[in-house]
């Protein structure tokens, strides 16, 4: 059973932090696959997906527990959606032959999420 302090925290930051940790773990697996299994071009694409997933996963895991409700939390949800669209699109192209047309939308969400987080930080 979770300690009382953990149960009293809102679910949104906990979900974001957990998603960040899962992204970081997936990034390590993607990097291993890119290095040991994938062909050079696919490996480069997966390496980029891994770098984005790891960096943003780490950011979510670190920032979510301290995020105040409102713009800061919304910006972290935008980061999560953006990295899932960006890195997910690149990984989906390799593993399932899917098109990468969602990657640019993910990139825009990542940029917007970081700018919104900066605005939230300036407001506090």
| Alpha helices (H) along the chain | 4-8, 11-36, 40-63, 71-96, 103-123
Asked if 77 and 65 touch (Cβ cutoff 8 Å), the reply is no
Task: Tell me the whole-structure pTM to 2 decimals.
Answer: 0.86
pLDDT for the residue numbered 4:
54
pLDDT in tens, 1-23: 555 555 555 788 999 999 999 99
pLDDT number for residue 67: 87
Dump pLDDT digits (tens) for 65-100: 988 889 999 999 999 999 999 999 999 999 999 999
**Using one digit for the tens of pLDDT, what is the confidence trace for 33-71?**
999 999 998 999 999 999 999 999 999 999 999 888 899
């Amino acid at each position: 059973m979770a300690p009382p302090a953990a149960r009293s925290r809102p679910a949104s930051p906990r979900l974001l932090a957990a998603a960040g940790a899962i992204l970081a773990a997936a990034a390590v697996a993607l990097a291993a696959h890119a290095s040991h299994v994938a062909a050079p071009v696919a490996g480069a694409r997966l390496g980029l997906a891994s770098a984005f997933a790891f960096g943003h996963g780490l950011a979510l895991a670190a920032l979510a527990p301290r995020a105040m409700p409102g713009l800061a939390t919304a910006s972290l949800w935008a980061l999560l959606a953006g990295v899932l669209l960006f890195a997910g699109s690149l990984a989906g192209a390799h593993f399932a032959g899917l098109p990468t047309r969602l990657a640019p939308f993910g990139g825009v969400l990542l940029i917007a999420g970081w700018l919104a987080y900066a605005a939230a930080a300036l407001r506090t």
